[in-house]
Structure 1
């Protein structure tokens, strides 16, 4: 892991501000969702890119009960279930 040399303090609500240089480097804009991961003693932020829960595809997604599913996966599931769906 590479250190940036940047240190930030949490505010009274537990927030930090990401420096503009980092936001530009990683194409993170205002209101972009970020995923939060924990690895031992590290907190890791990653730009959130929704993917198909089955294949990891990022294209042609629909949401069902809070989960992202690609149209290709829907077609494959219908085929496995023996259902006919129109294109």
Structure 2
């Protein structure tokens, strides 16, 4: 997608629609999770990719009390009796 400015209005509930061109470029589909954060004075929106809470590894994650943890860190926690 060519760099261009797109202006969208925020509705009364604080929502904004991401244009289809941006979603296609980022590979974001309906019901996908996105990550929103501040970088300086800018709002950044990216496709969300879960990583291990402890080491940042992006693959082979399991859910431990609602948090993503890789199998290596989960095994290490288990060996500590956590």
With the shorter chain as reference, the TM-score category is 0.7 to 0.9
State how far apart, in whole Å, the 2-side matches of 1:73 and 1:40 are. Answer: 32
Structure 1 residue 76 displacement after superposition: 3.2
In 2, distance between residues paired with 1:29 and 1:16?
A: 16
* Residue in 2 that maps onto 1:33: 33
Could you say which residue in structure 2 is the equivalent of 1:66? 66
Q: Which residue of 1 aligns with 2:56?
A: 56
TM-score (norm 1): 0.76
Structure 2 counterpart of 1:22 = 22
Query: How much does 1:65 deviate?
Result: 1.9
Unaligned runs of 5+ in 2: none
Number of aligned residue pairs:
79
Contact 2:51 / 2:68 at 8 angstroms: preserved in 1?
yes
Shift of 1:78: 4.0
Specify every segment of 5 or more residues in structure 1 that has no aligned partner in the other structure, as ranges: none
Q: How far, CA to CA, are the matches of 2:78 and 2:16 in structure 1?
A: 45
- Higher radius of gyration, 1 or 2: 1
Matched, 1:4 2:9: no
How high is the TM-score relative to the length of structure 2?
Answer: 0.80
